[in-house]
Amino acid sequence: MKSLVIEGQPLTIRVIIFVVASIALMVADHRLGYLKTVRTHLLGLVYPIQYLVDLPVKTGQWFSKRVNSHIQLLEENARLHEENLRLQVMLQKFEDLKSENKRLRELLGSSVKVGERIEMAEVLAIDLDTAKRKILINKGQNDNVFMNQPVMDAMGVMGQITQVGVFSSVVMLITDPEHELPVQVVRTGLRTVAKGMGTVNRLSLLYLSHSGLNTGIKVGDLIVTSGFGQKFPKGYPVGTVIEVEPDIGKPYAQVQALPRAALEHNREVLLVWKKSKK
Amino acid sequence: MSLEPHHGGWVIVLSFLVSFMLAIMPLPAWATVWRPDWIALVLTYWCIAVPQRVGVASGWFVGLIHDVLSDTLLGQHALTLCIIAFISVKLHRRIRLFPRWQQVMGVFGLITASQLLNAGISSIVGNPLLEWSFIYPAITSCGLWPWVFIILRDMRRTYQVY
């Protein structure tokens, strides 16, 4: 595999070449954008390894499903049936509201984005870098996954796509220290930014002044996406405020929220495509 | 460069594949910081055993794959692993003659240095260092070195890798 030119040189020169190459690669990867396609193909190349690691976990789950007792399955079926009926009824109401909302929007003359296409993806049981909060899912370029695509679960927002591979992609969770999400308090309409803290299941709400605490936010408030920044659709639940601490020593109040989505123990996630309507 | 024909390359490839799998295997949250640096261990062994085949270039390629697998900056692990390979190839004659406990100390030093370099790079990118946690992988790795060494040596002898 090694070429004669490289092989012929003394070890020290060779290591210097490779060290310089790695530094150049790191700078290119961090500062410039054009390594994205390279990463896409490399991620596709290593997919077999990731698939093999995930396989025992998947087999275990399949097996435990097999040995589930018949009665248990019947109970679950009945419960799901009931839930489905309830959701159907709620959906009827929702359809009505949606068309009413659309009519009102048209009356106001504002353009509106309606409807989102949703597809399911599976989380692969793979550990990525420990300092970050990221997960790997089994949908990639082949399934039209794109950069910065929103990822949800049944309860709320989970994160967004940060690396697209051919068959898989990396999701940055909203708790990652690099992730910032524009949000809004439902009760008062107060807008803020939810930033990850790098710890499991904690969000920090930024730029809230001490005076804003009096009227804008309190423990137990629901926060939803505000739709600012154009990446996330508006109005999806993000989390609940659990701690409001006015700290006079700091310019902003310390407010923390608990994410709604089951970020750390999901096996299935939902990918959202915006369907824009002219 | 060596002119004698190579033999048993698939054993080397297989051992690296297994180390990749161990490196991304899901562990309980408390254990992730203690995860041994499997890839560095396997690379060090092959650099000492067959330096004419596995060296700086292989270390770099292996590191690149490691980067893609763990979603770090492209080149981050490539840099640390090619330095590990460089030191191991440079000192392979001496390390072979070391008693086992001295090898363990050497591996501890190598992996601590590489972890420190990794932590340095991630803190430049914006993920600051988490206390002393960078030293945990070095501790578990050097504890596992004698076993990795024995297993890979037996495999090398059985399948005659040279």
Domain ranges for chain B? 9-158
Residues in chain A closer than 8 A to B1 (CB atoms): 4, 7-8
Number of C-beta neighbours around residue B102 at 10 A:
12
Q: Tell me the one-letter amino acid at B87.
A: I
Residues A131 and A247 in one domain: yes
Q: Establish if A101 belongs to a structural domain.
A: no
**Terminus-to-terminus CA distance in chain B, angstroms?**
14
A222 in contact with chain B, both atoms CB, cutoff 8 A: no
Q: What φ, ψ does residue A153 adopt, rounded to 5°? A: -130, -170
CB atoms within 10 A of CB B130: 14
Query: From the CA of B102, how many Å to the nearest CA of chain A?
Result: 24
Q: DSSP assignment of A32-82, as one string?
A: -STTHHHHHHHHHHTHHHHHHHHHHHHHHHHHHHHHS-HHHHHHHHHHHHH
Tens of pLDDT along chain A (278 residues) come to 444 444 556 888 889 999 999 999 998 888 877 788 888 888 888 999 989 988 888 888 788 877 877 888 888 899 999 999 999 888 888 888 888 888 887 777 665 555 678 888 988 877 777 777 888 999 988 888 998 899 988 888 999 999 898 889 999 999 988 899 999 888 888 888 999 887 778 888 888 777 767 777 888 889 999 888 878 888 888 999 998 887 778 778 888 999 988 887 778 898 988 765 43
Count CB atoms within 10 A of the CB of residue A188.
13
Number of domains in chain A: 2
Inter-chain residue contact A6 with B121, CB threshold 8 Å: no
CB contact under 8 A, A45 and B68: yes
The ipTM of this complex is: 0.84
A123 in the same domain as A36: no
Q: Of the candidates B57, B69, B122, which has its C-beta nearest A46's C-beta? A: B69
Assess whether A184 and A268 both reside in one domain: yes
In a domain, A167, yes or no: yes
Domain holding A19, by residue range, is: 2-61
pTM: 0.80
**For residue A6, is it within any domain?**
yes
How many A-B residue pairs are in contact by the CB < 8 A criterion?
A: 115
Which of B18, B25, B39, B69 is best to mutate for the A interface (most A CBs within 10 A)? B69
Q: Of A44, A61, A78, which residue constitutes the final position of a domain?
A: A61
Neighbours of A109 (CB within 10 A): 6
